[in-house]
């Protein structure tokens, strides 16, 4: 058997500065060690797909985050692995447990996933290997996995059997009480502007050193039409994951990070609000443009009318929350977010619809990812200070 300390040391030696994921009993020693040991930070995720997306954001910011997950959570990971990491060519290391491994008795809910785990990973074109319980063999498998990620720009899954890691006691510190939100602006909205007008206002307000991550569909297409820039990262897939990508980026950069989200996407991954409120970097601004419909698929109603997004952000610990009535308030809120510490939510009601004959990004997602990473990792000439 290997120790959690050995495994974390090996990961750290390969550049891993953070672990993110959802607990599994097979991973208990690793989680207990990383939750106690400050050498590698622990980013608690609300689901496994969020963990993959935030680790992807870390990579974009020039850092390495390792995802840990039970194989039951592979279903949650399919979407970002196949429609974000694959087209963008973004490698992330994954340690996934093998509950229900054939020949090893387990609970009935793990039987099917246990049978198909290696095949499912291979079907998603995620190279994988069982992590051995002997130190020298484990080192070699980790070396090969990292070589695969570096050579082919793909995620790699290290499959963890029961009993591979020696037990570790938990000595987790209590959660830090979050401060109350600094400010909530509640104005009755006037006639809602178009998304195109709000995106123009966004780019007019943001400084050149700010990073922008845009959600799938018409939002990314309109942002691309207005100004295709290295500062922009467009999610062409993985609907709902933009906020988690922004979470990951914000933890590894001093630049302002702005996520442009939509109501349908935000509802799909509503639990990420809790992860952002408790663990995002102070430079993260979550812009949520709510038109109440799924615009990219014909304008069908979403469930946004039943969700109070600003109240959800307040409840989840966002430091600043703004509910804007017009583009003037929207720009003023952005300016405050750039000046003061977040994470912040800037919520804006917009009208349904988009530009006719709207273009799609014609830069390949792999190229978008690499120019965005280069932008993020270039040193700022002067870094603006934020006050709490």
Chain segment 37-60, per-residue pLDDT in tens: 767 888 988 899 999 999 999 999
Report pLDDT for 252.
96
> Are 70 and 200 in a shared domain?
no
29 belongs to a structural domain:
yes
Give me 198's structure tokens.
């709000």
175 belongs to a structural domain:
no
Chain segment 82-104, per-residue pLDDT in tens: 999 999 999 999 999 999 999 99
> Are 104 and 248 in a shared domain?
no
**In the predicted structure, residue 172 carries a pLDDT above the cut 80:** no
> Are 153 and 194 in a shared domain?
no
Report pLDDT for 183.
57
List, in sequence order, every residue forming a beta bridge with 165; answer none if it has no partner: 2
Torsion angle of C-alpha atoms 96, 97, 103, 109, degrees rounded to 10: -100
Report pLDDT for 324.
94
List, in sequence order, every residue forming a beta bridge with 293; answer none if it has no partner: 301
Chain segment 273-307, per-residue pLDDT in tens: 999 999 999 999 999 999 988 888 777 888 888 89
Cis peptide leading into 343, omega within 30 of 0? yes
Phi-psi region of 101 (alpha: psi -120 to 50; beta: other; left: phi over 0): beta
Pick from 291, 310, 334, 277: nearest CA to 185: 310
Average pLDDT over residues 339-346: 94
Q: Average per-residue pLDDT in the chain?
A: 90
Report pLDDT for 60.
96
> Are 104 and 203 in a shared domain?
no
Q: CATH number, domain at 262?
A: 3.40.50.970
Report pLDDT for 141.
96
C-alpha to C-alpha distance for 372 and 285, rounded to whole angstroms = 18
Which domain range does residue 191 map to?
A: 184-377
> Are 213 and 131 in a shared domain?
no
Residue in the structure block whose two tokens are 């017009």: 326
At 190, the pLDDT band (50, 70, 90 cuts) reads: low
Q: Which residue has the higher pLDDT, 203 or 29?
A: 203
Q: Which residue has the higher pLDDT, 358 or 153?
A: 153
Average pLDDT over residues 257-272: 94
> Are 134 and 201 in a shared domain?
no
At 116, the pLDDT band (50, 70, 90 cuts) reads: very high
Three-state SS sequence of the chain = CECHHHHHHHHHHCCEEEEEECCCHHHHHHHHHHHHCCCCEEEECCCHHHHHHHHHHHHHCCCEEEEEECHHHHHHHHHHHHHHHHHHCCCCEEEEECCCCCCCCCCHHHHHHHHHHHHHHHHCCCCEEECCCCHHHHHHHHHHHHHHHHHHCCCEEEEECCCCECCCCCCCCCCCCCCCCCCEEECCCCCCCCHHHHHHHHHHHCCCCCEEEECCCHHHHHHHHHCCCCCEEECCCCCCCHHHHHHHHHCCCCCCEEEEEEHHHHHHCCCHHHHHHHHCCCCEEEEEEECCEEHHHCCEECCHHHCCHHHHHHHCCCCEEEEECCHHHHHHHHHHHHHECCCEEEEEECCCCCCCCCCCCCCCHHHHHHHHHHHHHCCCCCCCCCEC
**Structural domains of the chain, count:** 2
C-alpha to C-alpha distance for 280 and 245, rounded to whole angstroms = 11
Average pLDDT over residues 311-329: 94
> Are 155 and 194 in a shared domain?
no
Pick from 309, 318, 368: nearest CA to 344: 318
At 184, the pLDDT band (50, 70, 90 cuts) reads: low
Q: Do the bridges between strand 293-294 and strand 300-301 make them parallel or antiparallel, or are there none, so unpaired?
A: antiparallel
Q: Which residue has the higher pLDDT, 184 or 72?
A: 72
266 belongs to a structural domain:
yes
Report pLDDT for 336.
95
Report pLDDT for 381.
53
> Are 342 and 209 in a shared domain?
yes
Report pLDDT for 154.
97
21 belongs to a structural domain:
yes
> Are 248 and 337 in a shared domain?
yes
Pick from 37, 99, 286: nearest CA to 19: 37
């Amino acid at each position: 058997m290997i120790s959690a300390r050995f495994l974390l040391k090996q990961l750290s030696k390969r550049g891993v500065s953070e672990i993110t994921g959802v607990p599994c009993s097979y991973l208990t020693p690793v989680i207990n060690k990383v939750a106690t040991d400050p050498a590698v930070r622990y980013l608690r995720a609300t689901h496994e797909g969020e963990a993959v997306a935030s680790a992807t954001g870390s990579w974009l910011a020039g850092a390495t985050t390792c995802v840990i997950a039970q194989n039951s959570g592979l279903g949650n990971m399919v979407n970002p692995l196949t429609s974000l990491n694959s087209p963008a060519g973004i490698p992330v290391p994954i340690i996934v447990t093998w509950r229900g491994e054939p020949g090893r008795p387990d609970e009935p809910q793990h039987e099917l996933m246990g049978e198909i785990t290696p095949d499912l990973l291979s079907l998603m074109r995620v190279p994988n290997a069982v992590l051995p319980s002997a130190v020298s063999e484990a080192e070699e498998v980790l070396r090969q996995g990292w070589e695969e990620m570096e050579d082919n720009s793909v995620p790699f899954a290290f499959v963890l059997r029961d009993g591979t890691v020696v037990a570790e006691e938990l000595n987790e510190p209590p959660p830090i009480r979050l401060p109350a939100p600094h400010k909530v602006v509640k104005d009755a909205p006037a006639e809602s502007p178009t998304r195109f007008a709000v995106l123009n206002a966004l780019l007019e307000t943001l400084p050149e050193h700010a990073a922008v991550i845009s959600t799938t569909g018409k939002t990314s297409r309109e942002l691309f039409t207005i100004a295709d820039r290295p500062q922009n990262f467009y999610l062409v897939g993985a609907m709902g994951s933009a906020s988690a990508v922004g979470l990951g980026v914000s933890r590894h950069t001093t630049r302002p990070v702005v996520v442009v989200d939509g109501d349908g996407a935000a509802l799909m991954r509503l639990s990420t609000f809790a992860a952002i409120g408790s663990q995002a970097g102070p430079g993260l601004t979550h812009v949520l443009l709510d038109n109440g419909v799924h615009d990219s698929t014909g304008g069908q109603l979403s469930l946004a009318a039943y969700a109070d997004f600003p109240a959800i952000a307040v409840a989840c610990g966002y430091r600043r929350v703004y509910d804007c009535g017009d583009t003037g308030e929207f720009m003023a809120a952005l300016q405050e977010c750039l000046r003061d510490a977040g994470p912040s939510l800037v919520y804006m009601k917009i009208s349904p619809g988009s530009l006719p004959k709207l273009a799609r990004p014609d830069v390949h997602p792999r190229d978008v990812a690499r120019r965005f990473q280069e932008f993020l990792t270039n040193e700022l000439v002067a870094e603006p200070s934020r006050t709490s």
